[in-house]
Amino acid sequence: MRGWAILLAVTGFAATGPAMAADDGATIYKRCAACHLANGAGVPGAFPPLKSDVRALAGTPAGRRYLALVVIRGVSGAITVEGKPYRGMMPAQAGLNDAQVAAVLNHVVRGGSAKAFTPREIAGYRAGSAALNSAAVGRLQPAAAGK
Ligand code: HEC
C-alpha cells in the first residue's frame, strides 16, 4: 500500500507539476485559512469573514482594486466587515504573482455574481501600488464598500 501511495504521489506530481498546484486558488487559500478559517467564516473581533462583503466588493471597480491591494500590500487599521468593526493587521501576502492573486480572490468570491479576476487586471492594480502600506489600503475600504 505504501508503495502505491508513493507511486500515486509521484505520478500526480509529474502530471500537474509544482507550478500548477501552486496556482490553484484553493491551494493558495490555505495560507489565508490560518486566519480567516478554511470556510472563510473568520474569527469575530480578530479576523473578518470573507463572505458577503467581499463578494459585494468584487462587484465594483474600487472594491476589486481594494481586494487585490489587500492581498498584495496587506491591510490594517479600522475597517468594518459585515457590520462589525475590526482593527487588526493583515500582513502583505508576499510571494504571490498576479495569476496567484487572481486565483485566490476567485476562490474567495466563488458563488458570487462578479466577473472573474484575471492576472492582467491584478497587474494593473499592482502597478503603482508600491507606495501603499497596509494602513493606506485600510483607508481605501470604506469607499470601496460604499459605506
Ligand atoms: C495572519 C492573519 C491573516 C492572513 C494569513 C490573511 N489575512 Fe486577510 N485579514 C486579516 C486581518 C486581521 C484582517 C483585518 C485587518 C484590519 O482590521 O484592518 C484581514 C482582512 C482581509 C480582507 C478585507 C475584508 C473586507 O471585507 O474588507 C480580505 C479581502 C482578506 N483579508 C483576504 C485575505 C486573503 C485572500 C488571504 C490569503 C491570501 C488573507 N486574507 C490572509 C488577517 C489575515
Domain assignment of residue 131, yes or no = yes
Domain assignment of residue 11, yes or no = no
Q: 30, 31, 32, 66: which to mutate for ligand 1, most atoms within 8 A of CB?
A: 32
Segment holding 128, helix H or strand E: none
Which of these, 47, 145, 76, 67, lies nearest to 108 by C-alpha position? 67
Domain assignment of residue 106, yes or no = yes
Domain assignment of residue 27, yes or no = yes
pLDDT for 37 equals 98
- 31 CA to centre of ligand 1 in angstroms: 11
Quick one: which atom of ligand 1 is closest to the CA of 78? 18
| Rounded-to-integer distance, Cα 130 and Cα 110, Å | 28
Residue 131's CB: how many other CB atoms inside 10 A? Answer: 7
User: What secondary structure does DSSP assign to 2-67, as a single string?
Assistant: HHHHHHHHHHHHHHHHHHHHHH-HHHHHHHHHHHH-TTS--BTTTB---SHHHHHHTTSHHHHHHH
Q: Three cell numbers at 26?
A: 484553493
How many domains is the chain partitioned into structurally? 1
Predicted confidence (pLDDT) per residue in 36-89, tens digit = 999 999 999 999 999 999 999 999 999 999 999 999 999 999 999 999 999 999
- 100 CA to centre of ligand 1 in angstroms: 16
Domain assignment of residue 116, yes or no = yes
Residue 58: which CATH number?
1.10.760.10
pLDDT for 23 equals 85
Domain assignment of residue 8, yes or no = no
pLDDT for 38 equals 98
- 8 CA to centre of ligand 1 in angstroms: 35
- Which residues are within 8 A (CB) of 133 and not within 5 positions of it... i.e. 6 or more apart? 73, 74
Q: Containing domain of residue 35, as a range? A: 23-144
| Rounded-to-integer distance, Cα 46 and Cα 19, Å | 32
Domain assignment of residue 15, yes or no = no
Mean pLDDT of 26-35: 97
- Is any atom of ligand 1 closer than 6 Å to the C-beta of 69? no
Q: Three cell numbers at 80?
A: 468594518
Domain assignment of residue 74, yes or no = yes
Length of the chain: 147
